[in-house]
C-alpha cells in the first residue's frame, strides 16, 4: 500500500489541520496522497496532487473518507465498481460506518502499511426511475415531500404483489443501511454479511403492515398513487429525481459491492453495542 486517496467534507470544522497532519505523517512513511479537488481551499498550498473525487479510486490503493457517515457514503458513490477499499475516519457524530478516529491517524496508517486490517464486502443497491439508474450503499427511499396528504404505495416482489397501503412512502435498505433510516422507521437490524433486503413502510396507516426481509436476489417494484406530484426518490440521502404520478421505481441488488475497511477488527455486535447501545441494560452494574 503506497497510494492513498483522501475525500473529506470541506465544511467540517478543523478539517484543514486534520488533513495537513495526515499529509505530514504520510510523507514520513513514504506514502503518496491524492486529495479530492474540493479540498484545495482548506489544505496547505503545497499539499500535493489533487483530482476529481471520481478519479480517486483509480489513483489509489485505499481511499480514506474523513467526515461522518455521509462522507463515507459519498466515497462509496465515487468508488463505485472500482473495488478500492474505503476507510472511514469519523469526524461526525455517530460514525457507524467509520473504522478509525482522527486521534488514531498515525496508528491507522501503520496498520494499513502492514496490511493489518479486515476488508468487508457490503451489498449495494441500484434503483431505476425511467431511464435513470442510481446507486446506494444504505438505502433507496421513495417518499412524499412537504405535503401532509398520505399517498398510496403499491409494491411488487419479483412481479408478485406484496402490499398496498396508505402512508408516507417506502424504504428499501441493505443490511448496511438497516441501522439507518430503516431502523428509525421500525425496521429490523440485519447483519452486514447477509445477502438480503429489508422493505420498510414509512408511517403506514395500518395496524398489520410491518417491515419484511427478503432475499437479495429479489427485484422490488414500487408505484406511488397520489393526486399531487410532491414525491421524490433518494439514494443514501441524495435526491435522485422527482417521481411523476404513476411512475415506477425498480430496486435491485447492484452487480458490485463496496469494500469497507474494518481497522479495529470489531464485530458487528460490538458496533451495535458501542454505537447504538444495543442490548444495554442500565440496571446492570458496570466495572
Is residue 266 within a helix (H) or strand (E), and if so which, with residue range? none
Same domain, 93 and 151: no
Same domain, 44 and 113: yes
Q: What's 36's domain CATH number?
A: 3.40.50.10330
Residues 6+ apart with CB under 8 A from 265: 117, 118
Q: What is the mean pLDDT of residues 86-92?
A: 85
Same domain, 115 and 134: no
pLDDT at 121: 96
**C-alpha 161: how far from chain center:** 28
The CA-CA-CA angle for residues 175, 219, 225, to 5°, reads 105
Ramachandran angles phi, psi of 4, nearest 5°: -130, 135
Same domain, 129 and 240: yes
Between 245 and 181, whose confidence is greater?
A: 181
Q: Does residue 285 lie in a domain region?
A: no
Tell me how far apart the 2 most distant CA atoms of the chain are, in Å: 62
Same domain, 136 and 86: no
- The residue annotated as part of the active site, out of 37, 46, 69, 236, is 69
Whether residue 287 is predicted with pLDDT greater than 60 in this model: the reply is no
CB-CB neighbours of 124 under 10 Å: 23
Question: Mapping DSSP to helix (H, G, I), strand (E, B) and coil, where does residue 53 land?
Answer: helix
Domain carrying residue 30: 3-122+257-276
Tell me if residue 159 is catalytic: no
pLDDT at 235: 95
- At 266, the pLDDT band (50, 70, 90 cuts) reads confident
Q: Does residue 159 lie in a domain region?
A: yes
pLDDT tens for 132-169 read 999 999 999 999 876 668 889 999 999 899 999 999 99
pLDDT at 166: 93
What's the count of helices (H) and strands (E) in the chain, helices before strands? 5, 19
Ramachandran angles phi, psi of 25, nearest 5°: -60, -45
Between 278 and 76, whose confidence is greater?
A: 76
pLDDT at 220: 97
DSSP bridge partners of 232 = 143, 242
Same domain, 114 and 164: no
pLDDT at 286: 53
The pTM of this model reads 0.90
Q: What is the mean pLDDT of residues 87-105?
A: 77
CB-CB neighbours of 285 under 10 Å: 4
Sign of dihedral through CA atoms 173, 176, 178, 180?
Answer: negative
The CA-CA-CA angle for residues 76, 238, 257, to 5°, reads 25
Q: What's 248's domain CATH number?
A: 2.60.200.30
Same domain, 14 and 114: yes
Same domain, 154 and 112: no
Mean pLDDT, the chain, whole residue set: 88
Amino acid at each position: 500500500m503506497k497510494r492513498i486517496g483522501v475525500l473529506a467534507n470541506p465544511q467540517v470544522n478543523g478539517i484543514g489541520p486534520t488533513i495537513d497532519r495526515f499529509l505530514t505523517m504520510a510523507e514520513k512513511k513514504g506514502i503518496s496522497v491524492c486529495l479530492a479537488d474540493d479540498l484545495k481551499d482548506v489544505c496547505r498550498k503545497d499539499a500535493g496532487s489533487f483530482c476529481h473525487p471520481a478519479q480517486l479510486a483509480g489513483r489509489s490503493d485505499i481511499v480514506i473518507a474523513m467526515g461522518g457517515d455521509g462522507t463515507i457514503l459519498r466515497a462509496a458513490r465515487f468508488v463505485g465498481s472500482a473495488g478500492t477499499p474505503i476507510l472511514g475516519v469519523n469526524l461526525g457524530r455517530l460514525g457507524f460506518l467509520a473504522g478509525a478516529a482522527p486521534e488514531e491517524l498515525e496508528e491507522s496508517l501503520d496498520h494499513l502499511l502492514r496490511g493489518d486490517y479486515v476488508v468487508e464486502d457490503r451489498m449495494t443497491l441500484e434503483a431505476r426511475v425511467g431511464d435513470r439508474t442510481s446507486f446506494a450503499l444504505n438505502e433507496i427511499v421513495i417518499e412524499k415531500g412537504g405535503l401532509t396528504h398520505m399517498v398510496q404505495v403499491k409494491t411488487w416482489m419479483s412481479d408478485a404483489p406484496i402490499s398496498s397501503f396508505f402512508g408516507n412512502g417506502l424504504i428499501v435498505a441493505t443490511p448496511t443501511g438497516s441501522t439507518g433510516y430503516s431502523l428509525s422507521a421500525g425496521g429490523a437490524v440485519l447483519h452486514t454479511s447477509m445477502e438480503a433486503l429489508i422493505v420498510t413502510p414509512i408511517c403506514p396507516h395500518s395496524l398489520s403492515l410491518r417491515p419484511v426481509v427478503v432475499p437479495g436476489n429479489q427485484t422490488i417494484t414500487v408505484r406511488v398513487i397520489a393526486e399531487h406530484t410532491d414525491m421524490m426518490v433518494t439514494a443514501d440521502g441524495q435526491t435522485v429525481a422527482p417521481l411523476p404520478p404513476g411512475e415506477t421505481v425498480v430496486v435491485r441488488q447492484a452487480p458490485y459491492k463496496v469494500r469497507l475497511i474494518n481497522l479495529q477488527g470489531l464485530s458487528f455486535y460490538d458496533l451495535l453495542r458501542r454505537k447504538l447501545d444495543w442490548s444495554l441494560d442500565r440496571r446492570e452494574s458496570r466495572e
